[in-house]
Each structure stands twice: as structure tokens, then as C-alpha cells.
Amino acid sequence: MDKRTILAIVLSLAVLLTYQMFFAKPQTPPAKPVAATSSPAAPTAKETAQNPSLTSGKVKAGAKSPKSMASPKDISVETAQYTAIFSTRGGALKSFQLKGYQKDCAQCVDDIYPRIKNLFTGSKEQLPPKSKGLVELVDLKEGMPYPLAITFPESSIDIAPDAFFETNVKKLDLINAKEKQSLVFFHKDDNKIKVEKTFTFNPDNFTITLDVKISNLTNSPLNQIPKLSWQQYADPNMEEDSYGHDGPIASVAKSIELQSLKELNKEKLYGPNILWGGYESKYFIASFIPQNPSLTSLIMDRDAANMVSVSIKGPKEIIPGNQSGSFSYTLYLGPKEHSLLKSQNVGLEDAIDFGWFYWLAMPLLWVLNFLHNYIANYGLAIIILTLLIKIIFWPLGNLSYKSMKEMQNLQPKIAELKEKHKNDQAKISQETMALYKTHKVNPFGGCLPMVIQIPIFFGLYKALLYSIELRHSPLFWWIQDLSAKDPYYITPIIMGATQFIQQKMTPTMGDPMQAKIMLFMPIIFTFFFLNFPSGLVIYWLFNNVLSIGQQYYINKKLAN
């Protein structure tokens, strides 16, 4: 393996790592950032009249209804998976907390030192449990409309997103339930229109069915186009996560459309053929699936108060006088767990960004989950996965180390050829290849394991970075989140040291430039691995340890 080949591999790996770290996220056209403003209060009747966008439509149903001025009431819905709070204001969602998923906590690292101290000193001091709070999918400021409000813009009769709805249910408890239960909201205005919203909850999962029934109480036909919206406050001062997308997302004709919050400064229209849409973070998503994708469009928008809206609109329905029409949606509000998303059968699993290496990330994640069924520690599962990969490629590694050793033994003869034909580079290359053929040496044999490891590395990188299964999963001691970087950079430094040891054990080809390049590789790897998920660092670290053992075995065997 000549120095040009080695340099090409090193540079290629460096380019790939740099791309993944700094550029591997959706690129959107540059736009001016939205200016931050104070949060608005709820619109008054006068403001509503002056600003038709607050309640668009030909007839503003509910705008003057006395019921719209009533104090809103909260209705709690609790299952084993989440606690949801709905409001009679808009018949919409006020809060949605996921059980079993805690928020990311900046203080988590501060809790590590006393725990390590207890471990090494043998202290029995009881430490308080870490309390980070549950993940909340709804984030709004005062006066903003709640998510899952239904309006009817471009229709004969519209209702305000904060119109008053009634319900006879005070609370739903599905923790021990085996059957689905429903929460019905209804809004009636001046004998013109009645809107019923029925949320049906499954006690076993994160899926909710929303059925909307519109009753025409007049004698004339109504043209109604429903608009279902999810609103979310976007903090203009919050830095975007370089490893994940936080904002609107949609599947348009099976193509994923993402929108950066900082670049969303005007209304974006997509469709038709909307398979699903919603608002996502790195590990969670609030999504809605329309009944008729081919007749549905989607709107992404951000207003001056930094409220981001994702809305699906359509299809249009003509409701004859004194008759009813209906629309249905499927809602998924929960973690971006591949099996749960895939069960929706609309490609919702594409919200997980496994990128180019999806074909490797998925099998590796499957193996990790399989191992985790028997070993209740994802860190140990990663170590076992590393061992399995090493066993699979063990014969290839033996051939590689043997090839490098044989290449080292041929260096004196190659040096003689270079001296003999020092003015004829073509002759040197010809004689060198003949020498390789005579001794049955493959000059690229030493590179093959590294080349094969690169796609496996990136497949595992994607699996560890975006799989919610590893979020907040600990190994031991200071490694409390395998999807996050090592807070003290201990494992990357140890990994770099093992890479250096492995490189020192690798047979050199007699080229000083090549030796310098190879010794520089541990430094490059350590630098890149500093901010990588600790689970990935553990994989590479134990892979190095196993490689050192294999190389020691081959070198000793060839010496005998």
C-alpha cells in the first residue's frame, strides 16, 4: 500500500467526517431572520375586525357568540404513554407530556462528579434523584392559538381558532383501560353551523383519531374547506441543533420537505399529495395524517410573534342545507421510534434522518435492539455488537495484517529496484508489480478492512445519533447518555491512544512520509471523535482494542 493510497483514504475519511459534522443537514435558500417581538395578547373583537387573518372567511362564525367569552375549561386525558390537556378554547390541545421521556438537562453533568466520588470512595451517601421534567410537545406564549384547532378559511362560514367549544367530559383516564375512549367537543353558532370534533384515544399507543363533523343548519349549501393546524413558539435566540432538525416537516409525494426556523420568514405552500405533516424535534414529532392526501395541501408559516404554524388544508366539500359533512385525520404525537412510526403505513418513519446509510443503520439498530432484549444496557450491547462485527471480518483482518507484513518484507527489494531504475518511473512501477505478483502480495490488501469499516462506521453513527432508543441510555459512571458526547472527553482520548498503539504495531512500508501520515491519523480521529456520540466512540475504542489483539496474534504467528 503506497503513500498516495493511504493519503487518499485519510483525506476521504476526513472529508466525510467534516461533511457529516458541519454540512449534513437540509439546505434551504438563505433568508433574513425573523425579528423577535413581544408575545401578543389574545385578539380583541376590534383587533379581529381590523385583522381578517385572525378569523379568515366570508362569515366569521362565533366571533360575537356570548359563549366565546366564557372562561375556558381544561380536560385531562391520561394514558400509560402520555398526559394530554385539552381546552374548550378552540377544542384544541393545551399540553401534551410524554411519560418515560425526560427533557435534556444541562445539570446532568453536574450530577456525575458526586456519583463517581461515591464509587471510588465507597461512600454510601444517598444522592437525590435527578429531576428533569417530562418532554412537552406543546410550547406556546400567551394569546397564541392552541394546536389542533380547526378553522375554515376560504369557506362559506369560518370559525375562530379560539372559538368556544362545549363538552360533557371532565376527564378521561385510560391508564388501565383496554378499549378506546373518545372526547367530543361541539361548537354551535347562530343556527348556521355546528362543528363536532371527536378525539379518539388508543390506550396502547401514541395514535389519536380526529373526526370532524360539520352540520349545515341553514337551508343553503355551504362550501367548507377545513384547516387543521399545529402551532409552536420558536425562540429566536435559541441556537439550532447541528445534528438534528427542529421545525416544520412534511412528506410531499413521498419526498421529505424540511424548513429551517431561521429561514421561515414567509408562507410556504406544498402539495397536493400530502402524506403527512407536522412539527418535529430531533427525537419527537407531532404529526397529522390526512384522509385524502391527493386532495390535501400544506402550509408552513411564521408570524411576527415567532409563532410557527404547520397546517393541512382541504379537501373542499359542499354541504347541502340541513345536512352534514365530515373529515378525518390520524394524529401521531410521540417519540420518533422507527417501529411506531412505520406502523402508520404512510412513510412517517422517514422523519428519522438516517441519510445515505439507511441500508446499514437499520440492520445495526435492529441488532442493537435485539441484544438489548437480553442485556439491559445499550452500552454493553454496543460492545457486543463490536465483537460480532470483528468476528465477521476476522478472516479479512488476518489477510490484511499478513499482506502488510509481507509488504514490509519486500521493502528492501523495492528499494533496490528504485535505486536500479531511479531515472525510469515506469520501469520501477512495472518491476514492482512483477515483484508483488511473484510473491503473491496484494498491495491494496492492507487498505481493504479500513475501506469496509467506513460505511459501517457511518451507518452506526446515524443509528446512534438519531435513534431515540439510545437517548439518555447510560453505560456506567460518567457515560449517562450514549447518544451525546463524552462530557469529559475521556473515551475519545483513550480511543486516540489505542489508535496510536495500533498504528505503532502496524508494519511500516519503509517510506518516512507514509509513516508520518499514519502516525498523524490518531490525532485526526481524536479531534473528530470529541463531539461524536459516546456510543460511537465506545464502538471504535473497543474495535481498536480487538484489532490490537488480532494484530499482536498475527505478528507473533508470522514471526514463528
- What is the grid cell recorded at 148? 389542533
Q: What is the DSSP string of 386-427?
A: HHHHHHHTHHHHHHHHHHHHHHHHTHHHHHHHHHHTTT-HHH
CA dist 503 and 520 (Å) reads 10
Residue whose C-alpha cell reads 378525539 in the numeric block: 199
More confident residue, 49 or 530: 530
User: What value does the mean pLDDT take over residues 299-319?
Assistant: 89
At residue 5, the pLDDT reads 46
Q: What is the pLDDT of residues 469-481, one digit of tens each?
A: 878 777 777 888 8
Judge whether residue 508 has pLDDT over 70.
no
Reduced to 3 states, what is the DSSP secondary structure of residue 41?
Answer: coil
Listed residue (9, 181, 215) closest to 84, CA to CA: 181
CA dist 234 and 139 (Å) reads 8
User: What value does the mean pLDDT take over residues 174-198?
Assistant: 90
Q: What is the pLDDT of residues 247-262, one digit of tens each?
A: 899 999 888 988 888 8
Q: Look at domain 51-353 and name its CATH class.
A: mainly beta
Domain coordinates of the chain in residue numbers?
3-22+357-559, 51-353
Residue 147 CB coordination number (10 Å): 29
More confident residue, 133 or 108: 133
At residue 382, the pLDDT reads 86
Q: What is the pLDDT of residues 165-182, one digit of tens each?
A: 999 888 999 998 889 999
More confident residue, 164 or 132: 164
User: What value does the mean pLDDT take over residues 134-145?
Assistant: 90
Residue 172 CB coordination number (10 Å): 19
Q: What is the DSSP string of 146-178?
A: PTTEEE-TTSSSEE-TT-B-B-S-SEEE-SS--
154 and 225 Cβ atoms separated by less than 8 Å:
yes
Percent pLDDT > 70 in the chain is 70
At residue 136, the pLDDT reads 92
Listed residue (242, 489, 484, 530) closest to 378, CA to CA: 484
Residue 309 identity: S
CA dist 353 and 361 (Å) reads 10
Question: Which 3-state string (H, E, C) describes 191-256?
Answer: CCEEEEEEEEECCCCCEEEEEEEEEECCCCCEEECCEEEEEEECCCCCCCCCCCCCEEEEEECCEE
Q: What is the pLDDT of residues 52-87, one digit of tens each?
A: 333 333 444 444 444 445 688 999 999 999 999 999
CA dist 166 and 279 (Å) reads 27
Confidence bin at 118 (pLDDT 50/70/90): low
Confidence bin at 23 (pLDDT 50/70/90): very low
- What is the grid cell recorded at 232? 409552536
Reduced to 3 states, what is the DSSP secondary structure of residue 523?
Answer: helix
Judge whether residue 110 has pLDDT over 60.
no
More confident residue, 37 or 109: 109
Q: What is the pLDDT of residues 400-417, one digit of tens each?
A: 666 666 666 666 776 676
Residue 137 CB coordination number (10 Å): 21
User: What value does the mean pLDDT take over residues 529-551?
Assistant: 83
Confidence bin at 240 (pLDDT 50/70/90): low
At residue 243, the pLDDT reads 67
At residue 359, the pLDDT reads 82
Reduced to 3 states, what is the DSSP secondary structure of residue 544?
Answer: helix
410 and 507 Cβ atoms separated by less than 8 Å:
no
More confident residue, 370 or 535: 370
At residue 109, the pLDDT reads 44
Give me the chain's average pLDDT, please.
76
User: What value does the mean pLDDT take over residues 133-156?
Assistant: 90
Confidence bin at 40 (pLDDT 50/70/90): very low
How would you classify the pairing of strands 227-233 and 60-61?
unpaired
Residue whose C-alpha cell reads 399545529 in the numeric block: 230
Residue 92 is given by DSSP the state: E
At residue 246, the pLDDT reads 84
Rounded to whole angstroms, what are the CA distances from 478 to 123, 124, 278? 17, 18, 36
Residue 272: asked if its preceding bond is cis (omega within 30°), the reply is yes
CA dist 151 and 376 (Å) reads 47
